[in-house]
Amino acid sequence: MSAQDRLAYEARVRLRQAVIAVLAGVLLVAASAMQLTGPHTKVDELTVDLITANKRVPLDQIAAVINALASLAIAATLTYLFAATRARNQQLNQYIKWIAIGGGALAAITGIAYSVVIAVKVHQFVTQGAQTYDQANHLTNSGELLALQLLGQAAALALAVAFVLVSLGAMRVGLLTRFMGYLGIFAGVLVLFQITQVPVVQGYWLVALGYLFSGRWPTGVPPAWRSGRAEPWASGQELRARRVGAAAGRAKPTATPAPEAVGGPAPTPARSRAGAPKRKRKRKR
């Protein structure tokens, strides 16, 4: 695909991709916020946790569905940004796209499956048996739950890698500003190492990315979106060299014309009386 064909394609789909990116950010934050609502335990005890989880089943399942939609939207957003980046840099490997797709799809599937299995387990605990710690421990240590947890960690790792690699590649070809590029890398790190329960950084980055996809940006859309080619940002060394060159140009002295060139030969300065030679006075006889 030529640069002009690529620009025409991006112009056709940019509004759709902007909506998907914004939805990804909003749904991601909404799912996490929903999980914070409803009843919660005040003590960390397994049997109490299962009883409370049984009361939260509807909320948790709705949150799981919303989070699954967010994961699919994130995969679509990262895939589109990767395709735009690779169109400007053919050296990027295709495996980055498959990591983004696989991570988003796996996160969506495992999230919903885990919520369903947990709902069955907590219902079984509440309605059957004596609700002892041994029964709770037996239910929560099943192989299916352990497998889903491992798959969920693998999905999170894949999404984190996709965030980092796609953001870095897009920044290098000039599709993302340095701020957006580094923020995308930081958002990928936070997928694995969460600081807050609500993924505010990831949500903000996705919404801002959707705003950029729409063709609007406070400081202007980066040139690579308009040219269809890579427009790398100047390095720190190049920026310093430009500043030094500009400063040297401003400080260059201008030649002062000689007085002869302006008003002819300069007049000879008059000799002062004090500097004039004294005449000898004749003595009267």
Higher per-residue pLDDT: 17 or 232: 17
pLDDT at residue 240 in the model: 65
pLDDT in tens, 186-214: 999 999 988 888 899 999 999 999 999 99
Mean pLDDT, rounded, for 254-267: 50
Query: DSSP for 83-133?
Result: HHHHHH-TTS-THHHHHHHHHHHHHHHHHHHHHHHHHHHHHHHHHSS---H
pLDDT in tens, 40-57: 887 778 888 888 888 888
- Domain limits of the chain? 3-227
- Judged by average pLDDT, the poorest of 60-74, 165-179, 238-252 is 238-252
- Return d(Cα 57, Cα 43) in angstroms, integer: 19
Tell me which residue of 275, 278, 257, 276 sits closest to 266, measured CA to CA: 257
pLDDT at 115 over 70: yes
- Give Cβ neighbours of residue 78 (< 8 Å, ≥ 6 apart): 100, 104, 162, 163, 166
Mean pLDDT, rounded, for 146-171: 95
User: In this structure, what are the phi and psi dihedrals at residue 235, rounded to the nearest 5 degrees?
Assistant: -75, 170
- Return d(Cα 39, Cα 57) in angstroms, integer: 11
- Provide the mean pLDDT of the chain: 84
Mean pLDDT, rounded, for 8-28: 94
Mean pLDDT, rounded, for 241-249: 66
pLDDT at 258 over 70: no
Tell me which residue of 145, 112, 133 sits closest to 51, measured CA to CA: 133
CB contact burial 118-128 (16+ within 10 A = b; e otherwise): bbebbeebeee
